[in-house]
Amino acid sequence: LPEDVDVAMVPVRADLDGLTLAELQLPRRFGVSVLAVARGEEKLPARGDTVLREGDAVVVLGDPRALALLRRADIDWDTTQEG
């Protein structure tokens, strides 16, 4: 991978349990590409209707700065906001 691109596994917190990948809007909000969802030993496809569970990890590709922001614990995950 180029220096300006990394792959990371971002843990799904309890407050995100039950949300879909589409609801999180990770590509729009953070400029990352979602590659898969890791659930135990299983890898789920990165589809908008994939429901996240606490303990999952979202596998993402993106700029290291975007990945660092995505990992932050204090992100406002209010999915009702537009823009």
Tens of pLDDT, residue by residue over 63-83, are 999 888 888 755 555 554 444
Q: How much is the pLDDT for 73?
A: 56
CA torsion through residues 34, 79, 51, 14, sign:
positive
For residue 79, the SS3 value is coil
CA dihedral 31, 69, 19, 49 (to 10 degrees): 20
Which of the two residues, 73 and 2, has the higher pLDDT score? 2
pLDDT at 74: 57
The full DSSP string for 1-27 is --TT-EEEEEEPPGGGTT-BHHHHTHH
CA distance 43 to 32: 18
Q: What is the pTM of this model?
A: 0.82
Alpha-carbon gap, residue 12 to 37, rounded angstroms:
10
Give the per-residue pLDDT at 4: 87
| 4-62 tens-digit pLDDT | 899 999 889 898 999 999 999 999 989 999 999 999 999 999 999 999 999 999 999 99
